[in-house]
Structure 1
Amino acid sequence: MTEIDNVMVEMGRAVEQGRAGDRAGARAALEALWDSVGADGDALHRCSIAHYCADLQDAVADELEWDRRALAAVTDLTDERARRFQESLQVRAFLPSLHLNLADGYRRSGETDRARHHLGLAMDQADALPADEYGAWLRNALDRVRAALDAGSRAVLAGPVPA
């Protein structure tokens, strides 16, 4: 049985706020949540907040900093904790998206070797993705980032790279 998690509820509201066009407000809300959780707080909270906060940054360097925080936090996350939020979650399934976001950020910042490293990790772990619409979407994003990297493109990709 999953539990109600007020931090995740507030995070969801902030994410929707950002999707509705208020990026600055959403970013401020997520950063306030980050501060309330703390650097040593619940790993699911830290990983999720950082993961979504990265998408709301205006500068690639800031985005990468949040993406690195998300990846660092996931190392403290257990399947047991993730499943208390949603029964089907597995920590291993978080990794392709976390590494993909780092690969895309490094690609856009011109750090090709780092981009290829994280893209390789994301692709190696793609077997952990669910066989559903989200999994297909993320696999497609892996292909798009790989193609952009192979083409030497530093442009923002059309359409979202999964969060």
Structure 2
Amino acid sequence: MDGRRKYTNLNVRGEAYPTPQAVAAAFGVSAQAVRVAARKGTLHRVGTGRPGVEPMPVLIRGQRFENSRLAAAHLGVTHSAVHTAMMRGTLDTLGLPQRYNGGNSKSVTLAGMRFASMVEADRILGFKCGYVSLALRRKSPSAMQAILGAVMCEQNRREQQARKALENPNLREA
């Protein structure tokens, strides 16, 4: 090096400072931190208490967020989910409800009542996810009785609903 100062006339948030030492004294940081910030092009962040990587703006479904943490808070997901969606190229689906892909599911008939899938049967009959599938696989007599009882209750509920609809045509199905 030839002895010349490399960092002079530093502009930090609209104010010019002659040396890194002057910036350091004004913002309560070290002169080395100022030189590093100047080298990285982040002088606007000197003394703000936000070290590290410059926040990257995120655009999701036309809405712009300053960084991934703000986007995550708005969408109700974690900031790592935002970064994962960025890597996968699926930012526009982030925070939306997951869609059920019934293309691979098989319909099932339980006690004369037909369901589009076992998952749908679980949901409609009030069982936890996977209960019907496990009961059918194990051929458990007690579980089969529970399913039969739930199917009978559901059929009864639907019959009552149909009767109410016939009695009062102004009522709509819920």
Range into which the TM-score falls when normalised by the shorter chain:
under 0.3
| Greater gyration radius | 2
TM (normalized to structure 2)? 0.22
Larger strand share, 1 or 2: 2
Q: Which has the higher contact order (CA 8 A, sep 6+)?
A: 1
